[in-house]
């Protein structure tokens, strides 16, 4: 695990450099802060923060020489003591241009804001859509236009939106700050226009410079498009802090919280419990005891359905219900051995009932995934494994309490769904570096794919088959890594296991901004 964490930190250090030293120097020459400097200046120094999507677009867009963090920084933190989400374009990455993954990441930030009624701050510095990939970002439902649709709906929901134009803000992107509650612009470096001077010349023949066309003086003194004209980045960020300081309190969901306590068992032990060995057995309760306050865990139905562990605990004072896959081989009530990490009929039945209880009691759910899937075979099918699995998926899908998912190992097949994968709307979903996400395990998948390819070939030698299997296995395994998933925002972040408590705590605090208004109802299920 230490090697995994070192590799994670090395990759993050590179990503945090954005477009590199040369591009950063150009921004400095203009008197601008870098995007990460802006975010760090804005956020309260004495409060924690978490970053969403550091690995977005990782090892994607290789023809374009990469797009670190998808060219945009997203953090949940505190400004003037108020929890909020900050979105900052990184102008060192292709002048802050929007790639397809940039759009997806911005939409994820807005989704978090909407689900949790969390104030959102946009630090705008972008050249607009990356034209060579415009067909992948412009017209579809979850493309660029969705951003402004969300702006409108967030305003109607009473979610505070503050925008600061600290660089370019062009074309369709110009609508984002103006659809926010309040917009400010930095003099001489900020600009807003539907078309820049070159396009204006080409379109209507008018000669005009960009500052006259859409600079701070134009929009604060003539057009009235922006509300505040600020002399520099620091003053602009100070004004945001001042505005946030005056925002009123919010209606709360009312999740239970008491005094926070550290785990009694040392969390550093997590590094020894979970390793890169996919076959290693361990007792998941050893993980839980190192994540929860005072290492206290009230287990539910302890002697039944043992391949899933359920129970109540506190994390940083917040009451939570935990649903975790057990990776230890166990015996069921009939004395039969059950494989760790597999969901059996009894485990699915227990988890379903526990999820119902948490919804009844208004207790947030934490799913800890290390699952290879549901049990297969004639015995399971005759026992109705599909029916029991469907009940669990139904309960997860219809839950109204906030859900948080931590993928610590395997996340395969329908097990990913039942344990609240991305498709089931967890408020936050993160992976430890040891996570693997796929429709099935690498060895099984590679052998299946090999058989499909060999069906169309004749007279292959053992050496050729072995080489083909190795090639398929390597390609498939790359697609199962935590980094592959994080690049596509299937998870919000890859984290050091020691950060897990902070993520869950900040996630529940965010969720507490949004009172539950929908009644809990699972509809029709087979019992």
pLDDT for the residue 339: 94
Q: Nearest to residue 225, comparing CAs of 201, 196, 191, 200?
A: 191
Walking along the chain (527 residues) 10 residues at a time, the average pLDDT comes out as 95 97 96 98 98 98 94 98 98 95 97 98 93 89 93 96 95 84 96 87 90 93 95 98 97 97 97 84 96 98 97 98 96 94 96 98 98 93 93 97 97 95 98 92 69 74 78 81 97 98 98 96 84
What is the Cα 24 distance to its own chain's centre? 27
Cα 384 to Cα 151, 380, 389, 390, distances in angstroms: 46, 6, 9, 10
**Placement of tokens 């004639």 in the chain:** 378
CA angle, 120 then 122 then 124, to 5°? 175
Total-model pTM: 0.94
Q: How many CA atoms lie within 13 A of 406 on its CB side?
A: 26
Cα distance between residue 112 and residue 116, in whole Å: 6
Question: From the DSSP assignment, how many helices (H) and strands (E) are in the chain?
Answer: 20, 20
For 384, residues 6+ apart whose C-beta sits below 8 A from its C-beta are 345, 526
pLDDT of residue 279: 76
d(CA 154, CA 219): 24
* Span between the terminal Cα atoms of the chain, in Å: 42
Q: Which is nearest to 340 in space by CA: 437, 417, 274?
A: 274
Instruction: Give the Cβ contact number of residue 424 at 10 Å.
Output: 19
pLDDT score, position 443: 67
Q: What is the pLDDT of residues 300-337, one digit of tens each?
A: 999 999 999 999 999 999 999 999 999 999 999 999 99
Tens of pLDDT, residue by residue over 166-218, are 999 987 678 888 899 999 999 999 999 988 888 888 899 999 888 999 999 99
Helix intervals (H) in 205-256: 210-214, 216-217, 233-245
Residue among 152, 144, 15, 3 nearest 90 (CA): 15
Whether 229 and 187 have beta carbons less than 8 Å apart is answered as: yes
Query: How far apart (Å, rounded) are the C-alpha atoms in residues 69 and 488?
Result: 11
Q: 452 CB contacts (<8 Å, ≥6 apart)? A: none
Instruction: Give me the residue label for tokens 């050249």.
Output: 127
Identify the pLDDT of residue 449.
72
Task: Label the pairing between strands 191-193 and 82-89.
Answer: unpaired
Distance of CA 312 to the CA centre of its chain: 25
Strand partners of residue 299: 311
Q: Tell me how crowded residue 259 is: count the other CB atoms within 10 A of its CB.
A: 8
């Amino acid at each position: 695990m230490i090697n995994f964490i070192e590799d994670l930190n090395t990759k993050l250090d590179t990503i945090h450099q954005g477009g590199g030293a040369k591009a950063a120097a150009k921004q400095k020459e203009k008197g601008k802060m870098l995007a990460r400097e802006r975010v760090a200046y804005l956020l309260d120094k004495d409060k924690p923060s978490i970053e969403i999507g550091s690995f977005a677009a990782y090892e994607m867009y290789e023809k374009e020489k990469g797009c670190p963090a998808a060219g945009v920084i997203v953090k949940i933190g505190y400004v003037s003591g108020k929890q909020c989400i900050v979105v900052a374009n990184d102008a060192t990455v292709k002048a802050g241009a929007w790639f397809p993954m940039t759009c997806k990441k911005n939409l994820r930030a807005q989704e978090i804001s909407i689900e949790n009624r969390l104030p959102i701050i946009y630090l705008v510095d972008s050249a607009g859509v990356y034209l060579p990939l415009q067909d992948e970002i412009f017209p579809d439902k979850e493309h660029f236009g969705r951003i402004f649709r969300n702006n409108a709906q967030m305003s109607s929901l009473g979610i505070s939106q503050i925008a600061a134009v600290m660089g370019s803000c062009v074309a369709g992107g110009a609508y984002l700050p103006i659809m926010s509650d309040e917009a400010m612009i930095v003099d001489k470096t900020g600009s807003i226009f539907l078309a820049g001077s070159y396009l204006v010349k080409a379109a209507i023949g008018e000669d005009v410079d960009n500052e006259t066309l859409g600079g701070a003086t134009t929009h604060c003194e003539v057009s009235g498009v922006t509300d505040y004209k600020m002399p520099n980045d620091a003053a602009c960020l100070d004004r945001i802090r001042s505005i946030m300081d005056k925002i009123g309190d919010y209606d709360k969901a009312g999740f239970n919280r008491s005094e926070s306590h550290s785990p009694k068992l040392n969390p550093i032990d997590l590094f020894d419990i979970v390793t890169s060995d996919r076959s290693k057995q361990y007792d998941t309760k050893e993980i839980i005891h190192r994540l929860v306050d005072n290492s206290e865990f009230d287990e539910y139905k302890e002697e039944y359905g043992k391949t899933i562990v359920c129970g109540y605990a506190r994390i940083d004072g917040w009451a939570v219900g935990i649903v975790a896959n057990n990776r230890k081989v166990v015996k069921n009530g009939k004395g039969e051995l059950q494989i760790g990490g597999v969901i059996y009929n009894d485990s699915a039945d227990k988890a379903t009932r526990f999820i119902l209880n948490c919804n009844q009691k208004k207790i947030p759910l934490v799913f800890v995934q290390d699952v290879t899937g549901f049990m297969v075979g004639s015995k399971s099918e005759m026992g109705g494994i599909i029916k029991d699995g469907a009940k669990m998926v139904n309960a997860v899908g219809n839950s109204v309490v906030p859900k948080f998912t931590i993928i610590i190992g395997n996340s395969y097949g329908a097990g990913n769904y039942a344990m609240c994968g991305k498709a089931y709307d967890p408020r936050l979903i993160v992976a430890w570096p040891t996570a693997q996400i796929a429709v099935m395990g690498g060895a099984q998948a590679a052998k299946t794919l090999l058989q499909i390819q060999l069906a169309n070939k004749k007279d292959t030698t053992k050496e050729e088959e072995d080489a083909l299997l190795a090639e398929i296995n390597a390609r498939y395994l790359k697609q199962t890594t935590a980094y592959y998933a994080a690049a596509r925002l299937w998870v919000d972040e890859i984290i050091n296991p020691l950060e897990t408590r902070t993520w869950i705590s900040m996630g529940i605090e965010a969720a507490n901004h949004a009172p539950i208004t929908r009644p809990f109802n699972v509809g029709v299920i087979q019992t």
